[in-house]
Chains A and B, each alone.
Chain A
Amino acid sequence: MYTRKFKSLLTASIAVAILGSVTLLSCNSGGSGTGTGKADSTSNGDENTVMGAGSTFDNPLFSKMFSEYNKLNGLKVNYQSIGSGGGILQLTNKTVDFGASDAPLNGKQDSGMTAPAVHIPVTAGAVVISYNLPEVKDTLKLTPEILAEIFLGKITKWNDAKIAKANAGIKLPATGIIVAHRSDGSGTTNIFTTYLGKVNEEWNTKVGKGSSVNWPVGLGGKGNEGVAGSIKQTPGAIGYVELAYAIQNNMAYAKMQNKAGNFITPSIASVTAAANITIPADTKVSLTNTEAADGYPISGLSWVLLYKEQKYNNRTLDKTTKIVKLVWWMTHEGQQFSAALNYAPLSPAAVTAGETILKSITYDGKPILQ
C-alpha cells in the first residue's frame, strides 16, 4: 500500500518538476513579448522610482549622479550593475526603464527587441595598458603594431627589436612577456579588442572583437582587480585595465601611439579629446583609434539605452518624462561629477548628439521634451 502511494507521489513530483520548469521557461520568453504582469508591476509600482540595469563600468559614476539627482528632484533610481549584456537583456524583457551598456547594441540584440531603442552617450572611459617591469623607470611607449603582436603571442620578450625601436634610450630587460587579460565578459575587453581589430588585420581575422574572445595567449583574471593582481605580482606581465582603476591604484601604464602618430598618455583630458570627433546621428560610434590628434586611441563611449517609444506596460506620461529628464540631466549637469571619479566628461559633440536623440523620444507618438 505504501509503496503504491509512494510511487504515485513520485509520479506527481516528476509532473510538478516538468510543469514547473516549463512554466518558468515560458514566462521567461513571454517577458519579451507583450510584457508580463510582473513587468507591469515594476514599472507601475512606484511613480517616483526608476529602474535601471547594466554596465558595471558606469556604476560608481551613476551612484554619485543618482544620489545627487535624488537630492535635487527626489527621484529614486534603482540601478543594478549586472553587466552590459544583462542590462540589455532586462531592457529587452522590459523589466527596467533604462539599460546602460559599454558597447552599442549588436545586430542580434537589436532584432531581439520588440521596439527600437536609442543610444544616449553618458560618459567615456579608456583602457590603459599596464605592465610590470621593475627595472624600467621611464614610461614605456607602445605602437599599435607592438601591442597587437604581444597579444597575438608573436612578441614574447621585452627586449624585442620592435619594442626597443619605439623606446630608444630605455634599457629593456630580457624577461619573457606574460599577457594578462579579463576572463569575465566585459565592456573593457570589448573596447580593447575592437581597437586591436582596427589596427591589426591578423587580429581582426583570427580573434575578432567582443566582450569575451578566444585569446591566443595569456592568463585570464576576473575583473579589473584580477588582471591588476596578475600584473602586479608577475614580473614581465602586461595587461589592460580601465583607466579609472589604474589611476586609483597607482599602476604604471604605457603611452599609446594614436592614428595621428602621437604618443598619448591616457588621462581624462585625452579621453574627452578622443570623443571630439564627428558623432553620427545614432551615436553608435567606437572611439577606438580616434582621428583626433590629441585623443587617446583606446577609448570608448558608454551609453544609456531607452526605448524610442516610451508608452508601453501602462507607463504614465509623468513617469516617462521623469526618466527622459533624468538622462538629460546626466548628460549635462551630471557631467560635473565625472572628473572626480576619473571618468572622462562627454565632449561637446557627444552632448549635442545626445540632445537630438533625447528630443526624438516620444510618448504615444508625441515628443516628450519640447
Chain B
Amino acid sequence: MNTSSLDNTLITRNEDALRVISLTEAAAVPKATKREKHTYRQIGSERNFRRTLTAIGAAMIALVLGIFITLIIESIPSIKSLGIGYLWGKTWDPVRDIYGAYPFLIGTLLTSFLALFISIPFSFAVAIFLGEYYPTGWLPNLLKNTVELIAAVPSVIYGFWGLAVLVPIVRSFENKIGIEPAGIGIFTSSLILAVMIIPYAASLGRSMIQMVPSNLKEAAYSLGATRWEVIRSVSLPYVKSGLFAGVLLSLGRALGETMAVTMVIGNTSLIPKNIFAPGNTMASVIANEFTEADHPVYLSALIELGLVLFLVTFVINLIGKKVIQRYTNE
C-alpha cells in the first residue's frame, strides 16, 4: 500500500481535498458494505437537496428579471413616442395619445405614505401590547389572531366596506368642514389602506419585541426603571431595525394595492389639490384601463406605468435596506 506513497491530504482540486484510490488490484476497493451504501446515499441526497434549493433560488431571480425585461420591452413604443417627459407629464389623455404619469405617481405616493402614517401608531401599539405587556392569555391570543386575519381578508371586501361604511362617514365629515362632500378620494383610500397594512408591521414588531433578551430588561428594572422607561430605552432601541422592516413591508403592500383603492379613490386623472380630493394610483389606472386600451401607444403607456411602479417599489425597498443596515451596524 505504501508503494504509491501518495499522501491523500496533499492532493487537492479547487482547494478541496480529494480521496485518492490506488489502482493496484490489491488495493481495489472492497465491495461496499451496507453502512457505506447508506453513507453514499446520504451524501447524494444532501447534494440533491442543495441543488434543488439553488435551482429554486435561481428561478426566483429569473422570474423577477423576466418581468422587468418584459416590462421594458413592452414599454418601448411609449418611451419612443413620449420620452422621459412621461414621468412629469400632467395630462393623461387617451383620445389624443398624450400620457403623463405624474398625477398617478403623486397619487400612489400620497395614499401610501398617508396610510403608513395613519397605521404606524396602531401597529406599534399592537406590537408593544402583545410583545411586552400580554404575550400570553386568551385575550392577547384573540387580538393576535384578529390582527392576522385582517391581512387575510381579500382587498375587494375592504373596497365594499369602504364604499358602504367609510365613504358616508367621510362625506359627513367633509360636509362639516365645508369642502365638496364627495366622500371618496385620497383620504378615504388612505384610511382603507391603513387598516389593510396594520398587520404587517404589527406581527413583525410583536415577534421582534418578544425576542428582546430578558436579562437586558431585568437589568433596567433593577436600576429602578419603570415599564414605560424599559420599553422606550431598552426594548424599542433593541428592535428598531425589525420595526422598520415591518413598516417597509407595510409600505410595499400599500404601494401595490389595487382593488380596494380603485373603489374609493375617485379615479380621476387630475392632480389632487388636497388630501380630500379624488385622485388615482398607478396600480388602479392599470386595472381600470388595461382591458379597453385600444391602440398600441396607449397599451404601452399603461405597461410603462407598471414599469414605473416596479422601479418606485424597488427604490423604496433599496432605501429601506440601507436604513436597516445602518441601524443594525450601530
What are 13 contact pairs spanning A and B, CB under 8 A? A13-B59, A18-B65, A18-B66, A20-B66, A176-B180, A186-B292, A212-B288, A212-B289, A214-B95, A219-B268, A220-B278, A222-B262, A234-B182
Asked if B292 and A9 make an inter-chain contact with CB atoms under 8 angstroms apart, the answer reads: no
In chain B, what residue has the closest Cβ to A105? B294
A10 in contact (CB, < 8 A): yes
Asked if residues A106 and B62 are in contact (CB atoms below 8 Å), the reply is: no
Total A-B pairs, Cβ < 8 A = 140
> Which of B61, B74, B94, B280 is A213 in contact with, Cβ under 8 Å?
B94
Is the beta-carbon distance between B95 and A210 smaller than 8 angstroms? Answer: yes
Q: Are B262 and A183 in contact (CB under 8 A)?
A: yes
Number of residues from B at the complex interface, CB < 8 A: 50
In the complex, the answer to whether B66 meets A21 with C-beta atoms within 8 Å is: yes
Given contacts A183-B288, A211-B292, contact A10 B96 (CB under 8 A): no
| A12-B58, A108-B296, A214-B91 known; A221-B291 Cβ under 8 A | no
Q: Given A18-B65, A215-B269, does the pair A226, B183 have CB atoms closer than 8 Å?
A: no
Contact of A13 among B61, B70, B91 (CB under 8 A): B61
Cβ contact within 8 Å between A1 and B14: yes
Looking at A82-90, A136-144, A302-310, the stretch in contact with chain B turns out to be: A82-90
Residue among B69, B73, B96, B163 with max Cβ neighbours from chain A (10 Å): B69
Interface membership of B252, Cβ < 8 A: no
In the assembled complex, the Cα of A209 lies from the Cα of B181 at a distance in Å of: 29
- Please provide the chain A residues from 1 to 36 with a CB less than 8 Å away from any CB of chain B in the complex: 1, 5-6, 9-10, 12-14, 16-18, 20-22, 24-25
Which residue of A85, A86, A222 contacts B288 across the interface (Cβ within 8 Å)?
Answer: A222
From residue 182 to 228 of chain A, which have CB atoms closer than 8 A to chain B?
183-186, 207-215, 218-222, 226
Cβ-neighbour of A1 out of B15, B181, B183, B184 (below 8 A): B15
Q: Within 8 Å CB of B14, what residues of A?
A: 1
Chain A residues lying within 8 Å of B167, measured Cβ to Cβ, are: 233
Q: Which of B90-107 contact A (CB under 8 A)?
A: 91-96
For B269, the chain A residues whose CB sits under 8 A away are: 214-215
Contacts of A211 in B (CB 8 A): 94, 292, 294
Q: Are A208 and B95 in contact (CB under 8 A)?
A: yes
**Beta-carbon contact of B292 and A84 below 8 Å:** yes
Compute how far the CA of A21 lies from the CA of B167 in the bound complex, rounded to whole angstroms. 42
Interface status of B119 (Cβ within 8 A of chain A): no
Q: Known contacts A21-B69, A212-B94, A214-B269; decide if A16 and B62 are in contact (CB<8 Å).
A: yes
- The answer on a CB contact under 8 Å between A215 and B63 is no
Whether the Cβ atoms of B289 and A184 lie closer than 8 Å is yes
Do the beta carbons of A220 and B266 come within 8 Å of each other? yes
B218 smallest CB distance to A (angstroms): 43
Q: Which residues of A contact B266 (CB under 8 A)?
A: 219-220
Q: Check A219–B58 contact: CB distance below 8 A.
A: no
